[in-house]
A and B are shown apart, each in its own frame.
Chain A
Amino acid sequence: MTANIKEFPGISLNEQDFADGKILYNFDKLNGLYAWDTGIGIGSYLASLKNGVILGSHCKTCRKVVVPPRTICEWCFRPMDEFVPLKDTGIVNTFSLCYVTWDVQRIKDPEIPAVIDIDGASPMHGIMHMLGDVDPQEVKIGMRVQAVWKPTSERKGSINDIQYFKPIEEK
């Protein structure tokens, strides 16, 4: 049918049309504030972060240690058996060198988000965080990294209690 149709609907505007008042428009902003209940799993995760510990949880049935910790194993649908404190070291599973912030501001020095497989968790089980103290061009998948924590007094029970992960010096 596209062969038979000459004209498709859809009127394209450019930013100038808005600036010049050629078309009518308005703005609005959602005042959407939330206080999400943290529950047992994530509540404990946040409390551990405040103490400088990355917490996982262990499913005996699936023989898995996962992070962030949850109370339910999504694979066998049984309750998780125990919390497991993990190390604050790990391996870079993957990463990016990002030159754009979340609200699309261009930046000169890239942010380096990564998935870090945490030592003590099952293989391919990691968390997303940032890498720092590293030359962006030196970052490699498979690189070993360690968490750089905020000082105890500044920790709030948040994923941001870890400032970033930095490479572990090879001995």
Chain B
Amino acid sequence: MALLNRDPNSPVVWNGELPITNRYTYGLAGEKFFRTLKDEGRILGTHCPHCDQTYVPAAIFCERCLAKLDDWVDVGTSGEVNTFTFLQVNLNGSPLEKPEIIAFVRFGDGGLIHRLGEITPDQVEIGMMVQAVFKPSSERIGSILDIDYFKPV
């Protein structure tokens, strides 16, 4: 719709990037949740008595009523596979050599997103119980990756 003609020698594109680098604190709830995961190999949630919801991973607030949560509960290390998928592509969109088995494992009214291991794709089922396999305590850094994967109970 322009009246102007493009210079035939125009470059088609200009290449560039968004140079964004971040450092994230784990926050009030994350601090305690991940310290406990790292130091004690335990998974914590918080309970909102008003809404009767148990948040896992632990949250410092109830997303429903915005109450401050200080009722910390140990939810164990085994949970139910609520749903799962076999992811076939890398972060950059290229195909993965071997599909990754990713699951949402239910704990309390929340749960954790993680990989499943020691299992083949045809053995995975919604509703099966799986258990967190922790890295050796010396290798844990306070991260979701302190859990290596979840395996069938």
Residues of A participating in the B interface, judged by any CB pair closer than 8 Å: 11, 13, 18, 23-44, 46-48, 50, 57, 69, 71-72, 79-83, 157
Contacts and interface: CB of A to CB of B under 8 A. Distances in A.
A59 to B, nearest CB: 10
B7 A36 contact: no
A71 B14 contact: no
Interface residues of B, number: 34
Shortest 3 CB-CB distances between A and B: which pairs?
A43-B10, A32-B18, A71-B2
Given A24-B25, A25-B26, A29-B22, A41 B4 contact: yes
B30 to A, nearest CB: 7
9 contacts: A24-B34, A25-B26, A29-B21, A39-B6, A43-B6, A47-B9, A57-B4, A69-B4, A81-B3
Contacts of B31: 23-24
Residue with the highest number of chain B CB atoms closer than 10 Å, among A41, A43, A79:
A43
A-side binding surface: helix, strand, loop or mixed? Answer: mixed
Interface string B21-62: 111111010110011000000000000000000000000000
Given A38-B11, A46-B10, A79-B2, 10 more contacts: A24-B34, A25-B25, A29-B20, A29-B21, A30-B20, A31-B92, A32-B19, A41-B4, A47-B11, A81-B3
Contact of A38 (B13, B24, B30): B13
A80 B1 CA distance: 10
Nearest to B1: A79
A26 B4 contact: no
